[in-house]
A and B are shown apart, each in its own frame.
Chain A
Amino acid sequence: MEKTFSAPPLLTKRQLLWKNIKKSKHHYILMAPYAILFLTFTIVPVIMSLGISFSYFNLLEPPRFVGLDNYIKLFLEDEVFIIALKNTLILAVITGPVSYLMAFLFAWLINELRPKLRSFLTLVFYAPSISGNAFLMWLLIFSGDVHGYANAFLMKFGFIDNPILWLKNPDYMMLVIIIVQLWLSLGVSFLAFIAGLQSVDKTLYEAGAIDGIRNRWQELWYITLPSMKPQLMFGAVMQITTSLAIAAVSMQLVGFPSVQYAGHTIVTHLIDYGTVRYDLGYASAIATVLFLIMMSTNLLVRKILRKVGN
């Protein structure tokens, strides 16, 4: 008991840190299983990917250092990559902001409804993103013959005379991918917005009405959006990451590879080299470029969103 009364010895910074670590032993034990898996399957792979991208590696022979060769080939010699890069950026610039605004707009509109109807419409809008391969129904809708639903509809009302080969004609492929991707895009960010809107402090609206807010647009701008900033940030990260990683929809609908690579994206290019050609060094260079695009877009948008309303 005497010990407790003696003055604590002066500790150096390092000793203090060590003491803190020892004191938190149980916390590290609780975190250990996740931390090990997270490092193994997320952090280490990012570093490995960067390393392998400077090598030629086919999994059978040991990797051979080739310097910047993969990157030089990627940007100067690989015309397909340039197409993929262009397509990815077009898809991201359109589906990213549109899906973000759609997710917010629908969440906002739904929030005006009674709880039962609100739950039902939340389901209607969210269901496509969790419906497995139900997006293959769009193969029937955009089928190239006269029985494709889109063709039949447009022909019946006289917009077109001959059926359009939606999935084979390079002029229409991107349009199809964008439509289907938008249909799929009301995912976790949509749920975050729904939840965010429900948790806005109701008294703020009453106070706002007294302070002279006259319509729903002013209410949205001055009360709702500022209260939801954290959810808006989270939603932005989710939508940006998804919109830059479009691949499954393209591969399943317009084919892999698509006619004239018109539906090719960075991720389908990555899949081509990583799992078809087993040129892992080159695939890693593609992955590293994609990683840099995703991180820089996210950090830039985050910076901009932080400023909004300040």
Chain B
Amino acid sequence: MRFLKKTRRLNRSLGGDIALFLILLFFGFFSAYPLIMTASNAFKPLDELFLFPPRLFPRNLTFDNFRDLSDLISNSWVPFSRYFFNTILITVLGTGGHVLIASMAAFPLAKYKFPGRGLFFTLVVYSLMFAPQVTATPNYIIISKIGLIDNPSAIILPAIASSLGLYLMKQFMSQIPDELIESAKIDGASEYRIFFQIVMPLVKPAWLTLIILLFQRLWTTDGGNFIFSEELKPLSYALHQIAAGTIERAGTIAAVAFIMMIVPVTFFILSQSKVVETFSHSGMK
């Protein structure tokens, strides 16, 4: 069996290896099929899109769907670049803010003892135990009281406070050797300098993980109940408005789904090994 690891061939039977291969093949297909169809439909001409049985790969590859999409876009009332800019703004500020602010908080939690530390981290762990939907209603009230309705901050600020990111970052930082920090302190470096110049470069894998977690959440946001002005709406909202339509739009819909899917997936492909490294420290007691 050439596809198996070379090392560690202890305790393995051939029958077991064959079963393993078949299980992975079956469920791998189940997992990939809808994604392959999403990708392939985006490149099918309309007649192939409604063909039955559906073709896994298009015979006459075409970019018409993307051209139709861009035609629709250029006719929209708000310039399309505006929606794109809104999404980039929300994604970059939210993701960047989260990485910076969650790391700043994770550092003392991971490396020092001080009053309140245990309580705070316990609250963070407990907050992983309920879904954000629980706090949706009071969040709406708070955001409207602060006056952030119809402001990108209504999406950005709660995302920055995401507790999964802080949790993963703190766990990852815990493995930095204390001696490294101690010796920097002896050399006279301040806490802030230690954080920015020693700790942050060491936890790059964890940044990438935080980026990927927040990126996919913010990239697909449609503004929810928080953003009403057309010129502040994000890309996902605009694309779905275009896609919400009749059967002639089926090709455009496929193109939209493809665009929304391919960006986070590509990002994951590029950072996979670092992300997996981060999760090896995700353990909970």
Contacts and interface: CB of A to CB of B under 8 A. Distances in A.
A128 interface: yes
Contact of B260 (A134, A140, A271, A275): A134
A3 interface: no
B65 to A, nearest CB: 15
Contacts of B192: 26, 30
A28 B278 CA distance: 25
Contacts of A196: 279-280, 282-283
B133 A245 contact: yes
B142 A44 contact: yes
Contacts of B35: 127-128, 131, 134, 137
Interface of A is mostly: helix
Given A237-B128, A242-B131, A245-B133, A34 B11 contact: no
Given A38-B124, A106-B27, A231-B283, A127 B141 contact: no
Contacts of B276: 122, 191, 194-195, 198
B59 interface: no
B38 interface: yes
Interface string A201-222: 0100110010001111011000
Contacts of A114: 3-6
Contacts of B16: 215-216
Nearest to B280: A195
25 contacts: A42-B161, A48-B141, A48-B142, A52-B138, A106-B24, A112-B5, A114-B5, A119-B272, A124-B31, A130-B268, A131-B265, A132-B236, A132-B257, A134-B38, A134-B260, A137-B257, A234-B283, A241-B130, A271-B133, A275-B225, A280-B137, A284-B137, A294-B130, A294-B131, A295-B129
Interface of A: 17, 20-21, 23-24, 26-28, 30-31, 33-35, 37-38, 40-46, 48-49, 52, 59, 102, 106, 109-110, 112-114, 117, 119, 121-128, 130-138, 140-141, 147, 149, 152, 183, 186, 188, 191-192, 194-196, 198-199, 202, 205-206, 209, 213-216, 218-219, 229-231, 233-234, 237-238, 240-242, 244-245, 247, 267, 270-271, 274-275, 280, 283-284, 287, 290-291, 294-295, 298-299
